[in-house]
Amino acid sequence: MQASEQTGGIFDVTCAPLINLWGFGFTKFDSITPQLVDSIRHFVGFRKVHLQGNRVMKDDPRILLNFSALGGGTICNIIACLFDRKGISNYMIDIGGEMIAKGKNPQGWNWCIGIVRPKDDSTGTNSELEQIVQLSERLGLATSGNYRNFYLKDGRKYAHAINPITGYPVQKDILSATIIAHQCMLADAYATAFMTLGSRKARQL
């Protein structure tokens, strides 16, 4: 909810039907019309979901939730908490590119994480690095990008960054966003949101 509030609803776990609509989920529509997008948007909006104790309550049973944007970061947090309880002081956890690092690597140095240079590459074979960052103080890192998860249709590129407010995929001036935060789950959420917000609004946050 924190990420949803601070991004003005751009990060939204209720956008599952839009993810499916545009072919990035478990279903795909052959024909997408403005009327169809508008009808689906009625079931999208983070304020339509509420926490009551340990339960998630939906305003409408047809609302679908998708936590894929938090999955890697959440698992990293859980494993890091387990390691901390076990007294493990040096570790680096990597779940699909989301990471938490604490302490030193086996050579006694800070953990060095390479950030891949974003290039349109749906094959995932590009390994050229844009930057190397160092992590040590139990910091989480997450990267989101439009340069791998996309498809081309009728000469137009459709990337997986979808604006839950308009209902349409967006292609902003960011190919990739890497966020460092104390909670990897939050880094995951903001990296996803920044792809939709664009660089100017992302920097304001």
Task: Give tens-digit pLDDT for 150-172.
Answer: 767 777 777 778 999 999 988 77
CA distances from 201 to 8, 169, 191 (A): 11, 17, 13
**Cα gap 142→148, rounded to integer Å:** 15
* Total-model pTM: 0.84
- pLDDT at residue 176 above 90? no
Pair 182, 139: CB distance under 8 Å? yes
Q: What is the mean pLDDT of the chain?
A: 88
CB-based contacts of 174, cutoff 8 Å, min separation 6:
146, 194, 195, 198, 199, 202
Total Cβ atoms within 10 A of residue 151: 13
CATH topology of domain 2-204: T-fold (3.10.520)
Lowest mean pLDDT among 43-52, 58-67, 108-117, 146-155: 146-155
Please, what is the angle between helix 68-85 and helix 184-197, to 10°?
160
The predicted model gives 166-183 an average pLDDT of 88
Domains of the chain by residue range? 2-204
